[in-house]
Amino acid sequence: MEKKREENKVKFNVRHGQLAGMAGLSVICLFFFSYLPMFGLILAVKDGNKSLNILQAMLQSEWTLQNFVDLVVDEKFWSVLWNTVGLNLLSLLFNFPAPLIFALLINEVRSKHVRKAVQTVANFPHFISWVIFGGIVLALTDMTTGVINPVLEAFGLSSPENPVDLNMPQYFWTKMIIVTVIKNIGWGSIIYTAAIAGISPEIYDAAAIDGAGRWTRAVRITIPMIAPTITIFLLLNISRILGNSFEQFYVFQNSANLSKSEVLATYIYSTGFTYRNYSTAAAMSFFEGVISVALLSMGNFISNRLTGRGLF
């Protein structure tokens, strides 16, 4: 008996040692790629000279708050901020509910094989890099060789003599919202699908016996049961009002649509690495981080007050 207890103890220690090793590797990666770069925020209150590299600017330049003053008087910064907020509000309006609606629709599919096939197709774009996915979209929307213009011609929205250039600034926001929905709808629905799968089928059966249809069951049972999951995702999306995927916008950005495609992520990159104005770029990044934390805290406070649910 004692020997068996010792063997179980050894197995327990080995198993938890392996888990601790995996977690330790994740913590190390998190430290080097997420926490260590935060020390660069010191540049936000440094007078970084363009002749200095990043390390020299952090250690040798003088302390100052002029970088934040420069942001306030920079007209382009406010234009970029408008693009960022506008695109993310539209994303919150369309891209946030899209995975939820998709998960609700998938839940109503009775055939297991059809459901898996649809989920596989919907998830596939997520695993394609933005470089490749963006190249495909640009090829499809090309004014002369793309396939979108012939479709528009079929509906009378375009003509061979006057084709629609979908890469022009006025179409950029609409294109980005549609592209983002297509790329992320499958992946974003995974958590919702898992949450729905945790609901007891007996609840649905009882509701069906009482005469509840599919729509009623979805509204009165499914959505309230997964409300905590929806709340968490909503709060996380609110905190990203000033955050954008750099790769996504950098791929679609060009000199023609710059007035509509320049967001904080790309502006910080160009300011810091193209013009070597590290301090101003760090100030913008610091501003983005502070506003994101404030939005998350505010959204969490309101959610706790109204629904009793929140992240913390």
- Residue 49 pLDDT greater than 80, yes or no: no
Query: What are the residues whose beta carbons fall under 8 Å from the beta carbon of 163, sequence distance 6 or more?
Result: 143, 144, 149
Query: For the packed helices 172-197 and 112-123, what is the interaxial angle rounded to 10 degrees?
Result: 140
Work out the average pLDDT over 129-147.
90
- Residue of higher predicted confidence among 15 and 133: 133
Phi/psi for 63 (5° steps) reads -80, 140
Range with the largest mean pLDDT of 14-28, 112-126, 150-164, 297-311: 112-126
Q: Using CA atoms, how far apart are residues 237 and 89, in angstroms rounded to an integer? A: 10
Work out the average pLDDT over 82-87.
94
Q: Using CA atoms, how far apart are residues 93 and 195, in angstroms rounded to an integer? A: 22
User: Tokens representing 298?
Assistant: 């505010």
Name which of 127, 124, 103, 125 is nearest 115 in CA terms.
Answer: 103
- Residue 7 pLDDT greater than 80, yes or no: no
Residue 8, pLDDT score:
52
Q: How far is CA 68 from CA 41, 86, 95, 118, in A?
A: 13, 22, 32, 49
Work out the average pLDDT over 181-204.
92
Give domain 46-307's CATH architecture: Orthogonal Bundle (1.10)
Residue 83, pLDDT score:
94
Per domain, the residue ranges of the chain are: 46-307
Q: What is the pTM of this model?
A: 0.85
Res. 152 pLDDT band, cuts 50 70 90: confident
Res. 26 pLDDT band, cuts 50 70 90: confident
Name which of 303, 157, 175, 293 is nearest 233 in CA terms.
Answer: 303
Res. 276 pLDDT band, cuts 50 70 90: confident
Pair 250, 269: CB distance under 8 Å: yes
Reported as a single tens digit per residue, the pLDDT across 216-261 is 999 999 999 999 999 999 998 998 888 878 889 999 998 889 999 9
Pair 244, 179: CB distance under 8 Å: no
Q: Using CA atoms, how far apart are residues 312 and 298, in angstroms rounded to an integer? A: 12
The neighbour count for residue 103, using CB atoms within 10 Å, is 25
